[in-house]
Amino acid sequence: VTSLSGLPQWEVEELSVQDLLLFEVSWEVTNKVGGIYTVIQTKARTTADEWGDNYFLIGPYFEQNMKTQVEQCEPVHDAVRSAVDTMNKHGCQVHFGRWLIEGSPYVVLFDIGYSAWNLDRWKGDLWEACNVGIPYHDREANDMLIFGSLTAWFLKEVTDYAEGKHVIAHFHEWQAGTGLILSRARKLPIATIFTTHATLLGRYLCAANIDFYNHLDKFNIDKEAGERQIYHRYCMERAAVHCAHVFTTVSEITAIEAEHMLRRKPDVITPNGLNVKKFSAVHEFQNLHAMYKARIQDFVRGHFYGHLDFDLEKTLFLFIAGRYEFSNKGADIFLESLSRLNFLLRMHKSDITVVVFFIMPAKTNNFNVETLKGQAVRKQLWDIAHSVKEKFGKKLYDALLRGEIPDMNNILDRDDLTIMKRAIFSTQRQSLPPVTTHNMIDDSTDPILNTIRRIGLFNSRTDRVKVILHPEFLSSTSPLLPMDYEEFVRGCHLGVFPSYYEPWGYTPAECTVMGIPSVTTNLSGFGCFMQEHVADPTAYGIYIVDRRFRSPDDSCNQLTQFLYGFCKQSRRQRIIQRNRTERLSDLLDWRYLGRYYQHARHLTLSRAFPDRFHMEPTSPPTTEGFKYPRPSSVPPSPSGSQVSSPQSSDVEDEDEDERYDEEEEAERDRINIKSPFSLGHVPHGKKK
């Protein structure tokens, strides 16, 4: 099952959960490390609504996380309470409570360090189960073994006590896989699901600048894993995949990768969703964009003081964000396309300026002094302008009260003029605006800075593309750019994520939910999902770069065309596009995408307990097709919604403005988003 239209018709019937227990196991429960934390946190409300008190999350215990995120309480379920008490009596430390997020799910947290004395014994258990040995020096793998062993122990205690109830255990990523392996080796009566959010070897190979997707069937998997000293981790991952009753991945592109890397084809694709919050006012997200854009403009005024010879009202803000993986995240192709975009804008004498932010955390030792000075100069000029304005306003007010038209030459005295002249002189600077906001450690080897040096984007006056590297996560307490990530995204015009390796891609999905257009690729799970479910993604503000079937140079040219076409749009066209983008957010809501997880749970129950749960037919029946239509105001040819060359005409864009009817388009989209879920009644006898 890979698409909304492939879900079986009878799946609309809710699974009765009174006699079921659901456990989701992940190293990132209450413990933010990467994207899996976002998956579990955002999905919790939907799952808790469906399963109620029969839903539990299992994760590691960290004292600080427990204090700030979890409210301790007593287990309400007898089997869970018995399991927690038994393990605590046998020298473990198991914590139970409610995770303070939407849905308030129950969490079971194991203290890894408290049970480390069992490590050697549990290594022997793993060796007996699947002949996988873990080196002493790999601390992370050792921690995962302790976590998995505690999970398997806990599930055994639950199943021993929970008579008459069937247990589903859903394991996320290789870190939780040991628990699945040991549970199956001990023949525990549980239905298991394993979800891989990215394969271990895939991430390593892509980071090495290997043509990964065109050589999937040619890799010597064991050799590649051994050379990177992750063979034992790879074996743990592969064993978990083959032990699970149901194997799932987050996207079609990762399914292809997993089939070659892990030698098993996924049973179900489970795309990642978000909690979509709709505003009561239809255009509230547009108002938020204007408000946060003004705050970014304030930062730009300070950063480029002395070189602010461009119109901020004709300036577009682009950004890329994520882990600092130069090739995997597509920063290499993005920088090259920015160089070409800069050439096009200068050649066509465009009055548009593009300011690009790289939000990618790296090692730094402090803020850049020149950047701090820029913000100080901006604030000083703001204070001076306000003080002069107040004096000017008072004199003007007094003159009008006397019935006089003031002499504008005399309304400002010599002191005011002196203050303003000194303010102007303070904006003079000899150096160019800095490329980075922080002092980088080892900046001579930094790949982003080295590429900027090669392509020559140094923020000079003649450059129409300006670059700012912010090597730190955004925070509202920052003295430079005091904004949270969500506020910053809402204030930008376009998110650019031309990733080479991106199993799903939460960053473009978050942009979509906030009504901000984004660039993604057909090698990201999000890009593949949108290609499958939207007839013309570009018209909806989802630009999909072909990085799978084109050469790197052709992909770079395509990205440049997308960016140049975006720069040529009028303000009204950008507003129309943001409206369309925001309407796609329903497609990413867990209320809809949670159905994939429901299907996986039904499937694993039918395989683990075939005498109690039965699923027919084995292949999903045909259902009503689903695809977002091309907006009625967009020409029927796909070429009408993207720039084919830098010299393309604006006539089509003007025609589009005339044809655009927002209410009509919104109503059509509302009708289409419902179609895949208005499935037929359950045929008699299809499920029991």
Which of 489-498, 502-511, 619-628 is predicted with the least confidence, judged by mean pLDDT? 619-628
Which residue has tokens 């072909």? 546
Contact 578, 516 (CB under 8 A): yes
Query: H helices within 131-262, ranges in order?
Result: 139-161, 177-185, 200-207, 221-227, 231-243, 252-261
Contact 471, 440 (CB under 8 A): yes
Least Cα distance to 466 among 497, 437, 439, 423 occurs for 437
Residue 460 belongs to a domain: yes
Cβ partners under 8 Å of residue 12, min gap 6 = 677, 679, 680, 681, 682
Q: What is the pLDDT of residue 17?
A: 82
Name the residue range of residue 408's domain: 375-426
Q: Is the pLDDT of residue 72 over 90?
A: yes
Q: What is the pLDDT of residue 61?
A: 96
Least Cα distance to 337 among 433, 228, 455, 247 occurs for 455
Q: How many CB atoms lie within 10 A of CB 653?
A: 17
User: CA-to-CA distance for 15 and 595, rounded, in angstroms?
Assistant: 11
Question: Are residues 299 and 418 both part of a single domain?
Answer: no
Q: DSSP string covering 291-306, please?
A: HHHHHHHHHHHHHTTT
Average the pLDDT over 165-184 and give the result: 96
Decide: residue 203, CB within 10 A, 0-12 exposed, 13-18 middle, 19+ buried.
Answer: middle
Q: Is the pLDDT of residue 375 over 90?
A: no
User: CA-to-CA distance for 201 and 216, rounded, in angstroms?
Assistant: 11
Residue 485 belongs to a domain: yes
Which residue has tokens 């007898």? 78
User: CA-to-CA distance for 278 and 585, rounded, in angstroms?
Assistant: 9
User: CA-to-CA distance for 80 and 22, rounded, in angstroms?
Assistant: 11
Q: Using one digit for the tens of pLDDT, what is the confidence trace for 290-337?
A: 999 999 999 999 999 888 889 999 999 999 999 899 999 999 999 999
Least Cα distance to 506 among 492, 520, 491 occurs for 520
Domain stops at, among 409, 426, 443: 426
Average the pLDDT over 175-187 and give the result: 96
C-alpha distances in Å from residue 477, one per residue of 373, 481, 495: 18, 8, 23
Which of 267-271, 372-376, 462-466, 643-647 is predicted with the least confidence, judged by mean pLDDT? 643-647
Residue 663 belongs to a domain: no
Q: What is the pLDDT of residue 397?
A: 83
C-alpha distances in Å from residue 507, one per residue of 102, 426, 514, 621: 21, 39, 11, 34
Q: What is the pLDDT of residue 380?
A: 85
Which tokens is 527 given? 């890009």
Q: What is the pLDDT of residue 682?
A: 34
User: CA-to-CA distance for 637 and 640, rounded, in angstroms?
Assistant: 6
Contact 633, 540 (CB under 8 A): no
Q: Please, which pLDDT band fits residue 258 given cuts at 50, 70 and 90?
A: very high
Q: Using one digit for the tens of pLDDT, what is the confidence trace for 142-174?
A: 999 999 999 999 999 999 998 878 999 999 999
Question: Are residues 401 and 527 both part of a single domain?
Answer: no
Share of the chain above pLDDT 90, in %: 69
Q: β-strand 542-545 against 465-470: which pairing, if any?
A: unpaired
Q: What is the pLDDT of residue 27?
A: 96
Question: Are residues 32 and 141 both part of a single domain?
Answer: yes
Q: Is the pLDDT of residue 58 over 90?
A: yes
Least Cα distance to 27 among 159, 187, 158, 141 occurs for 141
Q: What is the pLDDT of residue 294?
A: 96
Q: What is the pLDDT of residue 279?
A: 60
Contact 391, 420 (CB under 8 A): no
Q: Is the pLDDT of residue 640 over 70?
A: no
Sign of CA dihedral 153, 158, 161, 162: negative
Q: Is the pLDDT of residue 504 over 60?
A: yes
Contact 509, 322 (CB under 8 A): no
Q: Is the pLDDT of residue 438 over 80?
A: yes
Question: Are residues 9 and 39 both part of a single domain?
Answer: yes
Give, as one character, the DSSP assignment of residue 92.
Answer: -
Which of 172-181, 483-492, 659-668, 671-680 is predicted with the least confidence, judged by mean pLDDT? 671-680
Question: Are residues 10 and 87 both part of a single domain?
Answer: yes
Angle CA 645–647–651, to nearest 5: 105
Question: Are residues 409 and 358 both part of a single domain?
Answer: no
Average the pLDDT over 665-686 and give the result: 48
Q: Considering the entire predicted model, what is its pTM?
A: 0.86
Q: What is the pLDDT of residue 410?
A: 74
Q: Using one digit for the tens of pLDDT, what is the confidence trace for 584-629?
A: 988 999 988 999 999 999 999 999 999 988 876 444 433 334 577 7
Residue 611 belongs to a domain: no
Average the pLDDT over 73-82 and give the result: 94
Residue 230 belongs to a domain: no
Sign of CA dihedral 442, 444, 445, 449: positive
Q: Please, which pLDDT band fits residue 395 given cuts at 50, 70 and 90?
A: confident
Q: What is the pLDDT of residue 53?
A: 94
C-alpha distances in Å from residue 16, one per residue of 51, 80, 125, 167, 599: 9, 20, 36, 13, 13
User: CA-to-CA distance for 498 and 477, rounded, in angstroms?
Assistant: 30
Q: Is the pLDDT of residue 416 over 50?
A: yes
Total domains present in the chain: 3
Q: Is the pLDDT of residue 437 over 70?
A: yes
Q: What is the pLDDT of residue 280?
A: 53
Q: What is the pLDDT of residue 394?
A: 84
Which tokens is 272 given? 């990642």
Give, as one character, the DSSP assignment of residue 652.
Answer: H
Q: What is the pLDDT of residue 86?
A: 96
Q: Please, which pLDDT band fits residue 195 given cuts at 50, 70 and 90?
A: very high
Sign of CA dihedral 207, 489, 574, 296: negative
Q: What is the pLDDT of residue 417?
A: 80
Least Cα distance to 627 among 537, 550, 555, 546 occurs for 537
Q: Is the pLDDT of residue 554 over 90?
A: yes
Q: Using one digit for the tens of pLDDT, what is the confidence trace for 92-144?
A: 999 999 999 999 999 999 999 999 999 999 999 999 999 999 999 999 999 99
Residue 500 belongs to a domain: yes
Question: Are residues 263 and 390 both part of a single domain?
Answer: no
Domain stops at, among 562, 587, 612: 587
- Domain CATH for 340: 3.40.50.2000
Question: Are residues 86 and 197 both part of a single domain?
Answer: yes
Q: What is the pLDDT of residue 662?
A: 67
Question: Are residues 167 and 187 both part of a single domain?
Answer: yes
Question: Are residues 164 and 312 both part of a single domain?
Answer: no
Decide: residue 107, CB within 10 A, 0-12 exposed, 13-18 middle, 19+ buried.
Answer: buried
Q: Is the pLDDT of residue 464 over 90?
A: yes
Residue type at 598 in one-letter notation: Q
Average the pLDDT over 342-357 and give the result: 96
Contact 31, 58 (CB under 8 A): no
Residue 208 belongs to a domain: yes
Question: Are residues 448 and 331 both part of a single domain?
Answer: yes
Burial 120-133 (b: 16+ CB within 10 A, else e): eebbebbeebbebe
Question: Are residues 470 and 527 both part of a single domain?
Answer: yes
Residue 653 belongs to a domain: no
Q: Is the pLDDT of residue 3 over 80?
A: no
